[in-house]
A and B are shown apart, each in its own frame.
Chain A
């Protein structure tokens, strides 16, 4: 009833090509943006910013990057943690060795360095696919782990191998309050979500999807697989690299390679699968599911005033979280984004389904 496109006519090509073709969707997105940029900074607590919103946004950005590769181009990668690590350490080295460089430029350069690394490890995708490719990208994980924990130059000869990010300063101001950090991360995440959304509707995005659906057919209709696959690796790594730099600089502050270990790669893959392969919205939903849900589950007994021990609460968290993953995958194998789409479909004809 409320969600109907009746009476909305498209009278120009620009309207026909709009990112969101239905008016209600546009309103909804504007509403979300206003809430995120204005209402949340006014009311959220420091805990909400630092422990929930900032990690959620950064991992959502990384999930978008991974989704471009896995969901849109069909190339499975288990090296997300490694590429985040490349982004984090490149940003660290740039910031420490070239102290006058604008930090935003540092993030972009870190993204570009990660792009190069991603393309290098993407070369095997030209010959192998599926699970074999996953194993090849796993090599990136182990190689980067080794590189950043053994080669002292990358950690500026820190005796413990743990490095500390310098403060985030640009345009003459230090961005260190939780609200400022949140706004910075939010702006970057929104910008990149917009870029990704437009990329996948463009020529290049369509060539990725064609490659994903059937690479032989794509080649026959004139898509160069080398170009499609490597560009997917490049763009994905760029996103992931920037997310890695943000994760290190904004969220952790101090880190060691363990912060980007194989578990990080796995949790990124889970985010993309649970959120929905081939969906930008799904990346956000998946990140929320993986980042926020365990924290909520951990605190629910406490909020309800149920006196159970820390260990029990922690075990319950693992059990319920695991059960929920299975539940969602059974109910909707295409991810949370698909559930969202179904809900919109239903809403369209509600309350008269027939």
Chain B
């Protein structure tokens, strides 16, 4: 299963540690650190994401010979979803490769918080595709953070839009069952604002990490009978929540998961019983026959070079990992248009990430048509796109059950800016003037 590439990476990494000056000075390589969790209670969700991420990096090397001729090297580091181990992994990998780390994808909101100041000091971009801190969408304060494709505030806004469409929310009750961590608490401010605006009551029901034990929480759901339950969970917490919902016979049709609570590992344990459970689809769902998937099969899995199981290609979280890697690679590609076709430093990649423009033609060229919508970032907007759909579990697979929604930026942007300003004041960061930069 070990590929030539991987052993080459290992060998070069070993050489790099033994004799840094000799091995890496001339290499035309772009080093990508891969923070993953393949063990522990979050691994059911962490593994497919990691496999998608690594597969995409491999695919770029195998199919295109790297990014414009610059080979991608990578190294995985196990964080176990723990903040302190994540920080250790960051320190371990940040200076590897000829130009240092390209950018970090920590796949944990807690690690994102811990790394936010560190990346600014080390000048490495921090990509948090669909997670991270919501106020970091404001690039004028958060120069190094890129919560691409949507933040939790966008997600919360879209969920409310969707349920509001089904009938007025006045006097209704919405329960938020959330992972009691920065990740789970992120949507609360937006939901509270919406509760005021629409006149619904918001019940906040925290679930302690790792979320295996939720009896008490769902007892409350049973007593309060909310009209909708929003699930903000991750790892085993999701499947446990769905199981508890079945136990207290809360209708799955009225349950909506965020995009991290709506993938195969969450619903498969309950199979048919989870039928009707809804979730946000962060642009993509479980598409498995787009151009990029065919390439994955052709260039990697048919040759025995795939990272995980062949059947996993196209799963929801596999696709998300793949898209996260794609956005990183595209940032490098964009950076190369300005700085030349060579290995880029973190600072140069940051420029690329801030000037991403993935339009319909580019999406088609990447083999991602139908999976993602156009995305355009700028100094002010590090999020790039705010679109999502709802998909629903039918007992065996996920399928779309709504049209596209777009996060209401008129509503969200003032909140983002206010929170970003507060952060800037607390940390004494000087806000960039985006008018001058563009």
Contacts and interface: CB of A to CB of B under 8 A. Distances in A.
Given A255-B83, A307-B6, 11 more contacts: A47-B92, A159-B185, A164-B113, A164-B427, A176-B121, A253-B118, A256-B113, A256-B181, A259-B83, A261-B209, A299-B92
Contact of B186 (A159, A298, A309): A159
Interface residues of A, number: 39
22 contacts: A47-B95, A96-B426, A159-B185, A159-B186, A160-B185, A161-B185, A162-B113, A164-B423, A255-B113, A255-B114, A258-B83, A259-B84, A295-B88, A302-B10, A302-B14, A303-B17, A307-B2, A307-B7, A310-B50, A311-B38, A314-B38, A318-B39
Interface string B1-20: 01000110011011001000
B36 interface: yes
A34 B154 CA distance: 54
Interface string A244-262: 0000000111111011010
A321 to B, nearest CB: 13
A167 B428 CA distance: 9
* 5 nearest CB pairs, A to B: A311-B38, A160-B182, A310-B76, A162-B182, A51-B91
B11 A305 contact: yes
Interface in B63-85: 76-78, 80, 83-84
A16 interface: no
Contacts, number: 107
A310 B84 contact: no
Contacts of A332: none
B180 interface: yes
B87 interface: yes
A298 B75 CA distance: 13
B110 A55 contact: no
Given A160-B185, A261-B209, A314-B38, A254 B114 contact: yes
B189 interface: yes
Nearest to A318: B39
B188 interface: yes
A176 B118 CA distance: 10
Classify chain B's interface size.
Answer: 35 or more
A46 B83 contact: no
B95 A258 contact: no
A149 interface: yes
Interface of A: 46-47, 50-51, 55, 96, 149, 156, 159-162, 164, 166-167, 176, 251-256, 258-259, 261, 295, 298-299, 302-303, 305, 307, 309-311, 313-315, 318
Contacts of A314: 38-39, 78, 80
Contacts of B117: 164, 253-254
Contacts of B428: 167
Contact of A160 (B39, B77, B109): B109
Contacts of B161: none
Contacts of A149: 180, 206
Nearest to B183: A160
A83 B166 CA distance: 48
B114 A258 contact: no
Contacts of B189: 159
Interface string B98-138: 00000000000110011011100100000000000110000
Contacts of A55: 84
A252 B86 CA distance: 10
A159 B153 CA distance: 11
B399 interface: no
Nearest to A49: B91
Contact of B91 (A47, A162, A255): A47
Given A298-B78, A302-B14, A160 B83 contact: no
B419 interface: yes
Given A51-B92, A162-B110, A252-B84, A305 B10 contact: yes
Contacts of A51: 87-88, 91-92
Interface string B414-436: 00000100010011100000000
A228 B427 CA distance: 43
B10 A307 contact: yes
B14 A303 contact: yes
Contacts of B114: 252-255
